[in-house]
């Protein structure tokens, strides 16, 4: 028996953000238009995902996958010992990763928009051109680059966690993010 777990919005959101994150990460300077538009779409999708986390389908809601930190740590310990309980929606660690990734993406896109304004005089904050001088521009450059690299490191951990949980529970979580379906039960 299998059941519908990830609704179409969650799946389209996931794979679009995943692809565009890598596109934005890999483009700069001469491909700035591609970089900026990939980033805007990621930003808009993250905003929509936050709303969907409040009003969306059962397993898409934040209340379905936000657990106390002690539960997250206990789940991670059990996962490494290959004895973690199976969840049909996000596991406690998976849910914590969702929150951290969404916050990380907001910081990356936010600092990108500010940088684009003060540095290039372009984008929605074009009128901020030159604001804060060189020091502020350098700070935004540093934060944008650092946050992008932190999110990239989180993505590596995210994919490793997905593969480990798939192994422990003998299921293909990645394919479930394509079809939306998972095996029912514990």
Across-strand partners of 181?
A: 4
Q: Contact, 3 vs 184, CB < 8 A?
A: yes
What separation in angstroms does the CA of 163 have from each of 17, 23, 32, 59, 117? 19, 23, 33, 20, 39
Radius of gyration of the chain measured on its C-alpha atoms: 19
Q: Report the site for ligand HEM in 24-83 (rule: CB under 6 A).
A: 24-25, 28-29, 35-36, 39-40, 42, 49, 60
In this structure, are strands 181-183 and 2-4 parallel, antiparallel, or unpaired?
antiparallel
Please say which residue, 72 or 98, places its beta carbon nearer to ligand HEM. Answer: 98
Shortest reach from residue 29's CB to ligand HEM, in Å: 5
SS3 (DSSP) at 7: coil
The window from 66-74, 75-83, 127-135, 150-158 that contacts ligand HEM (CB under 6 A) reads 150-158
Q: Which residues bind ligand HEM (CB under 6 A)?
A: 10, 13-14, 17-18, 21, 24-25, 28-29, 35-36, 39-40, 42, 49, 60, 90-91, 94, 98, 101-102, 108-109, 112-113, 115-116, 119-120, 123, 144-145, 148, 151, 155, 158-159, 162, 173-174, 177
């Amino acid at each position: 028996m299998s059941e519908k777990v990830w609704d179409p919005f969650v799946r389209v959101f996931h794979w679009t953000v995943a692809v565009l994150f890598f596109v934005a990460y890999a483009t700069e300077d001469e491909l700035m238009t591609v970089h900026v538009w990939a980033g805007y779409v990621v930003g808009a999708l993250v905003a929509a995902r936050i709303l969907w986390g409040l009003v969306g389908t059962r397993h898409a809601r934040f209340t379905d996958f936000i657990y106390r930190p002690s539960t997250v740590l206990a789940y991670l310990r059990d996962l490494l010992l290959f004895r973690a309980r199976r969840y049909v929606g996000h596991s406690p660690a998976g849910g914590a990763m969702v929150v951290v990734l969404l916050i990380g993406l907001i910081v990356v896109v936010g600092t990108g928009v500010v940088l684009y304004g003060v540095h290039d005089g372009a984008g929605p904050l074009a009128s901020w051109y030159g604001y804060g001088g060189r020091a502020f521009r350098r700070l935004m450059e540093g934060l944008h680059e650092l946050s992008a690299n932190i999110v990239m490191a989180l993505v590596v951990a995210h994919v490793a966690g997905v593969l480990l949980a798939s192994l422990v529970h003998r299921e293909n979580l990645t394919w479930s993010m394509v079809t939306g379906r998972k095996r029912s039960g514990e």
